[in-house]
Structure 1
Amino acid sequence: MSTDQILHRPWGIVSPDFWQKTDPEPTTPVSAPVQAPVGPGPAPGAMGQTAVPPPPAEYRWRIAAVTAACVPPIDPQRLAAANVEAEQIDGEFTAAFGAAHSHTINVRELRGWIAHLMGQPAAAARWYLHTTGLQAHVWGTEHEFTRASAGRAVQQWKGVTDPAERLALGSELLPMLRAVTGETSDATLAVQAIVEPSA
């Protein structure tokens, strides 16, 4: 199993049936406090894991089309169109369900994955930083979903090559990592070494 596949659980591996399995530059997400509480949230599944409900039936074909564009071989034009469609779905879900609903969070996770595929690691990291905040609001900092989003943020941050951008983004990631993964986690220490080298 590839690193990317491991990083994108428990939402599943991005494929045409991405959502069913769990039952251009993107706009930069805003790290504002979440206003809307989660709706009917995911329920505990087998083995104590949390089951993420599929999106509404009327959206499944649209989301399947977006995720299909993320399957190799990647076609840049198709991926760009999927990015625009994901942004549209994000807006519709936000209006219908609120920012903290699992449907909205999953679409924003998908937008992070698309940014990664488009070769935009900083944008991808910011999406995952954003979804980590939403997951923490809904589930708490110790939940598997929150920690998975945090892990994805760090993984994408590692791909940022511009030193100034890496430092600026690391400064945004570090407080989140301290809250979610702990002061002495490998992720926290890796980012801290760049942001606070004398610490």
Structure 2
Amino acid sequence: MPEPLYRPWGTVTPEFWATPDPGTAPPPAEVTPDVLRAGLVKVAEIARTGHLPDAAALAARIDRDATAEYGELDLHTIQVREVRGYLAALAGDHPSGLSWYLHATQLRVTIQGPGHPDVEAATRRAYSLWRAVPTSMDQQRLGIALLTIAGDIHGPDSPLVCHIRGRLYSLALSLPPSAIASASTSAPLDNA
């Protein structure tokens, strides 16, 4: 007796191979963009009442959740990190704020490219925060990090980089020589 011939029940498509096995699909996302947005609105409300440490703690938790859900190279995560930089600047911690802004700018250029308007805006935010740094010594030290990153993104001869370089030169002329040496040899900024 011959073996029965079974005919295929349909055509196998690429979608078939992309579908996970039953029971192995990832659970639905818990940190949706709407949840992130609501969390950031709550951060803004807390900051508006003057409780910056509480706002920063909530932003750190949202950052951790967004990073776990979307990864570091995602616009949702980057936006949360920019908020963390803004909160640090509001609290008067300009080095941390600028560090967050520069970190977010580097992430943006990685996923959006150097010519993207959001990258340009992120660079402007970092530059504006740098200009608001209260002491010349900190401005010199942080400006070196800003100049390096802006040069990598926009090119060494871009108008922004030339402007930063000129501002750093003006700062260097107003500082005593010992301060200039310590600013150029200090440890690089860490990404908070």
Query: With structure 1 as the length reference, what TM-score do the two structures score?
Result: 0.62
Task: Check if 1:110 corresponds to 2:83.
Answer: yes
Give the deviation of 1:104 after TM superposition: 0.3
State the Cα distance separating 1:76 from its structure 2 match.
2.3
Match of 2:65 among 71, 84, 92: 92
In structure 1, what is the equivalent of residue 49 of structure 2? 75
Structure number with larger C-alpha Rg: 2
* 2:133 alignment partner, one of 160, 165, 173: 160
Higher relative contact order (CA 8 A, sep 6+): 1
- For residues 145-168 of structure 1, the C-alpha deviation after alignment (integer angstroms, 9 at most, x for no partner) is 111111100100011122332111
User: CA distance change for structure 1 residues 169 and 191 in 2, over 3 Å: closer, same or farther?
Assistant: same
Residue pair 2:36, 2:66 contacting (<8 A) in 1 also:
no
Percent identity of paired positions between Structure 1 and Structure 2: 29
Alignment RMSD: 2.3
2-side partners of 1:84 and 1:189: how far apart? 37
More helix per residue: 2
Contact 1:177–1:187 (Cα < 8 Å) also in 2: yes
CA distance in 1, matches of 2:159, 2:134: 20
In structure 1, the residue corresponding to 2:126 is in which secondary structure?
helix
Q: 1:173/1:59 Cα in 2 relative to 1: closer, same or farther (>3 Å)?
A: closer
Shift, 1:106, TM fit = 0.6
1:183 Cα offset (Å): 3.4
**Which blocks of at least 5 consecutive residues in structure 2 are unaligned?**
1-30, 173-192
Change (3 A) 1:63 1:163: same
2:127 partner amino acid = V
